[in-house]
Chains A and B, each alone.
Chain A
């Protein structure tokens, strides 16, 4: 164990959080700048001020507004567009810092950095950011920025305080290459489900806005149908990964504990999550079930993921007690 290196990892983590906070504010400014007619001069001024504030933070930030992959929406206020550009650059910077934090932590502890809740939280946050910014290079996802950066900051905040665990080795049952396979894939799946849940939430919100026909910044976001399809396509990528993670977990459980399935609380919840998302896929294919009703099932699935991580790890008596708390 190298405590010095672990300290550097933490510095990278805190820096990432600071930069990500700025990115989040810029995304908020972007959405505020999109707000329709109701977005009177005052809102626009606020957005502009925040954008400028944020812009002061980094040197070459402004240039990114002209990134070629960046499609400029027709009629999008210039200020909003600039805010989004800054948000994106800052977001990439935060992501890079987080990758550095996770990698340094891995070197410091001389093992795969997924051994306790702190590491799980930072790793998952890193993946969510990578997926979000990675997908943003292919399509315009600026509207999603705030709803990604905000929850990620929340998780990083919890990870660096409540879940923080000193750099250390892991107990014998975790010393296995299955840790790398099972936990990494589970984290990838959970991160994608998180992304899917953020979009699913926006979709349900958009459905309501569309039904009521009231003015809202959501009017500038993709139509509900597009949001729903995007959310579905993320979910169908995540579901087989989760299935794989459960199977890999069962193989590992047999090696470590002698039996591939014990109905340990963590296993129960993994199963419940799997069944709920299977129900979502079914609901979506069932005639007589609307898309929005099916989407609620997907959100219930994500609620189970949150419970599995935040509650089961900490409060339930389980063989999986490695939260480090």
Chain B
């Protein structure tokens, strides 16, 4: 009996290789056995690790499309090649999928037969005790002043007490075995990994997510049309989204002001959105808050506060003073001090459509090099810095960003010196546009909340599987698989019994000699025999 015999692990030695000719079935068998061997699993694991790395080095389109585009623009030769090879979408790349699918085929092919073996092994009797226990990795002997039958009886009791499964194949030996849960844990771990993958897949197929910007004072009713971006899984029926509504009353933001250290001053400290939520339009409404780390759960979705920024209230009037545009207009922060970019589009303007674009600066300053910027994220000295365009705001009706102007069919207004007309507005100020084009007023500052609303029906399966995997792993790593054998024979004069105890373990097991000593001591105790 060797260590190997205690393992139910399929052998890696492949005897089919030596066959001179292989028919199609033989080949299939050969490939299958290769695929489900430990060595292949190991190689696939290492391959998976290596294949993940480009995903952390190169920008990934699904995480940051802007940075990916920049990278492609800067690397004109390798960029397109890498792009063809899916290097900007590594975790959705066919070669990445190939590795993990192979790994999971291998996993199933390995674990299912093993489960079967294990099922049988769990119900099988412990094997017959070897003739010479002193050949086992751990061995000890003792003498007990009692007849062999009572020693056998005591040994059975002692080993059962240590939670061994016990069987006597003959009158002079006891075989016992413990730690089947180690293999159970190992199988549970591997099977649960499949559960994790299925949970992730369910989330991809039936889950959806959408992002929306809601200025203070405005409402949001959940429907696809309201989202700035909406990403449904392939089998999502987007007419059946949870019909909840939200109203944002106020968004509080605080930033570090006391610590002046590098990398600290001005960093965010708290964001809180005060909202009223109703599960369906007209349904009972309740006041609540959404914070980072404290999302709001509504039936069928979860609402996360992932972004925020400023939505200065801007009013545009025509020459007669009639209001053409009056809205809290979100500007997107472009740095940590909320230097924000945005646009105001006034299609109702006469004679030509008007567009304003530029910056909102919560704490405005004019940097000699960088121009207008903000030096602190809080609205301490807010200002708008805008330029003006007129013409066709939406040539060809192409879809376009709300935050920038498509200047293809627009012309910029110039001042007397033929320089682009620059407007600088602080709250309450109005600027009269030249040539009777009307005026623009900066009424005041409000904030907006960037909400991300998501539904993932697979997350509980993933979580439960992950926890099972962890439990299985702990069992598999910490439980010891051992066999203990006891052999008895009468001493020469027949007054005492010679007891030989041997132990075997799967893998190295430093505790084995100690276990045998325990067994011997317990035997003496059980018989009431002092050594």
What string of 1s and 0s marks CB contacts (under 8 Å) between B275-308 and chain A? 0000000000000000111110000001010100
9 A–B contacts, CB within 8 A, in A order: A165-B263, A167-B259, A175-B270, A175-B293, A236-B478, A263-B62, A276-B46, A287-B38, A325-B263
On whether the beta carbons of B59 and A317 are closer than 8 Å, the reply is: yes
A243 / chain B contacts, CB cutoff of 8 Å: 469-470, 473
**Which listed segment binds B: A25-33, A147-155, A265-273?**
A265-273
Cβ-based interface call for B510 (8 A) = yes
What string of 1s and 0s marks CB contacts (under 8 Å) between A278-300 and chain B? 11001101111100000001000
State the A residues within 8 Å of B (CB): 1, 165-169, 171-173, 175-176, 178, 229, 232, 236, 239-240, 243-244, 247, 250-251, 254-265, 268-269, 271-272, 275-276, 278-279, 282-283, 285-289, 297, 304, 312, 316-317, 324-325
Which residue of the partner chain, among B13, B45, B510, contacts A279 with CB atoms under 8 Å?
Answer: B45
B256 / chain A contacts, CB cutoff of 8 Å: 168-169
On whether the beta carbons of A286 and B470 are closer than 8 Å, the reply is: no
**Which listed segment binds A: B22-30, B50-58, B483-491?**
B50-58
B41 / chain A contacts, CB cutoff of 8 Å: 282
B212 / chain A contacts, CB cutoff of 8 Å: none
Cβ-based interface call for B267 (8 A) = yes
In whole angstroms, how far apart are the Cα atoms of A124 and B11 in the complex? 41
Number of A-B contacts (CB under 8 A): 143
**Which listed segment binds A: B125-133, B317-325, B460-468?**
B460-468
B38 / chain A contacts, CB cutoff of 8 Å: 282, 285-287
In whole angstroms, how far apart are the Cα atoms of A285 and B41 in the complex? 11
Shortest Cβ distance from A246 into B: residue: B466
On whether the beta carbons of A1 and B258 are closer than 8 Å, the reply is: yes
In whole angstroms, how far apart are the Cα atoms of A287 and B52 in the complex? 27
A268 / chain B contacts, CB cutoff of 8 Å: 52-53, 55-56
Shortest Cβ distance from A312 into B: residue: B56
On whether the beta carbons of B469 and A172 are closer than 8 Å, the reply is: no
Which 4 A-B pairs rank lowest in CB-CB distance, beginning with the nearest? A166-B261, A172-B292, A258-B304, A265-B56
On whether the beta carbons of B293 and A259 are closer than 8 Å, the reply is: no
CB distance from A279 to the nearest CB of B (A): 4
Given A165-B263, A268-B52, A317-B59: A172 in contact with B291 (beta carbons within 8 A):
yes
B408 / chain A contacts, CB cutoff of 8 Å: none
Which residue of the partner chain, among A169, A240, A255, contacts B474 with CB atoms under 8 Å?
Answer: A240
Which residue of the partner chain, among A229, A278, A316, contacts B56 with CB atoms under 8 Å?
Answer: A316
B11 / chain A contacts, CB cutoff of 8 Å: 287
On whether the beta carbons of A275 and B45 are closer than 8 Å, the reply is: yes
CB distance from A160 to the nearest CB of B (A): 15
Cβ-based interface call for B48 (8 A) = yes
B contact residues, total (Cβ < 8 Å): 64
Interface class of chain B by DSSP: mixed
Cβ-based interface call for B271 (8 A) = yes
B462 / chain A contacts, CB cutoff of 8 Å: 260
A166 / chain B contacts, CB cutoff of 8 Å: 259, 261-262, 264
On whether the beta carbons of B302 and A258 are closer than 8 Å, the reply is: yes
CB distance from A277 to the nearest CB of B (A): 10
In whole angstroms, how far apart are the Cα atoms of A265 and B12 in the complex? 36
In whole angstroms, how far apart are the Cα atoms of A136 and B263 in the complex? 40
Cβ-based interface call for B250 (8 A) = no
In whole angstroms, how far apart are the Cα atoms of A202 and B342 in the complex? 60
On whether the beta carbons of B466 and A279 are closer than 8 Å, the reply is: no
On whether the beta carbons of A272 and B53 are closer than 8 Å, the reply is: yes
Which residue of the partner chain, among B261, B306, B454, contacts A168 with CB atoms under 8 Å?
Answer: B261
CB distance from B366 to the nearest CB of A (A): 28
State the B residues within 8 Å of A (CB): 9, 11-13, 38-39, 41-42, 45-46, 48-49, 52-53, 55-57, 59-60, 62-64, 67, 90-91, 200, 209, 256, 258-259, 261-264, 267-271, 291-295, 302, 304, 306, 452, 454, 456, 459, 462-463, 466-467, 469-470, 473-474, 477-478, 507-508, 510
CB distance from B268 to the nearest CB of A (A): 5
Given A260-B459, A263-B63: A239 in contact with B473 (beta carbons within 8 A):
yes
Given contacts A240-B474, A275-B52, A278-B45, 7 further A-B contacts (CB under 8 A): A1-B259, A165-B262, A166-B264, A251-B463, A275-B46, A279-B45, A324-B263
Given A288-B12, A324-B263, A325-B263: A244 in contact with B295 (beta carbons within 8 A):
no
B271 / chain A contacts, CB cutoff of 8 Å: 172
On whether the beta carbons of A171 and B267 are closer than 8 Å, the reply is: yes
CB distance from A282 to the nearest CB of B (A): 5
Given A257-B306, A258-B454, A264-B63: A172 in contact with B56 (beta carbons within 8 A):
no
Which residue of the partner chain, among A172, A287, A316, contacts B269 with CB atoms under 8 Å?
Answer: A172
Shortest Cβ distance from B46 into A: residue: A279
CB distance from A13 to the nearest CB of B (A): 17
CB distance from A199 to the nearest CB of B (A): 14
B467 / chain A contacts, CB cutoff of 8 Å: 247
B55 / chain A contacts, CB cutoff of 8 Å: 263, 265, 268
In whole angstroms, how far apart are the Cα atoms of A275 and B46 in the complex? 7
CB distance from B470 to the nearest CB of A (A): 5
CB distance from B465 to the nearest CB of A (A): 10
B45 / chain A contacts, CB cutoff of 8 Å: 275-276, 278-279, 282
A250 / chain B contacts, CB cutoff of 8 Å: 466
CB distance from B419 to the nearest CB of A (A): 37
A324 / chain B contacts, CB cutoff of 8 Å: 263-264
Shortest Cβ distance from A284 into B: residue: B507
CB distance from B374 to the nearest CB of A (A): 18
In whole angstroms, how far apart are the Cα atoms of A140 and B304 in the complex? 52
In whole angstroms, how far apart are the Cα atoms of A176 and B63 in the complex? 24
On whether the beta carbons of A289 and B42 are closer than 8 Å, the reply is: yes
In whole angstroms, how far apart are the Cα atoms of A167 and B45 in the complex? 41
CB distance from B186 to the nearest CB of A (A): 10
A287 / chain B contacts, CB cutoff of 8 Å: 11-13, 38
On whether the beta carbons of A240 and B473 are closer than 8 Å, the reply is: yes
On whether the beta carbons of B302 and A275 are closer than 8 Å, the reply is: no
In whole angstroms, how far apart are the Cα atoms of A316 and B477 in the complex? 34
Given A168-B261, A272-B52, A282-B45: A173 in contact with B63 (beta carbons within 8 A):
no
On whether the beta carbons of A258 and B306 are closer than 8 Å, the reply is: yes
In whole angstroms, how far apart are the Cα atoms of A257 and B211 in the complex? 12
B62 / chain A contacts, CB cutoff of 8 Å: 263
A236 / chain B contacts, CB cutoff of 8 Å: 477-478
Given A268-B53, A268-B56: A165 in contact with B264 (beta carbons within 8 A):
yes
B53 / chain A contacts, CB cutoff of 8 Å: 268, 272
Given A250-B466, A275-B45, A282-B41: A171 in contact with B268 (beta carbons within 8 A):
yes
CB distance from A233 to the nearest CB of B (A): 8
Shortest Cβ distance from A263 into B: residue: B91
CB distance from B248 to the nearest CB of A (A): 17
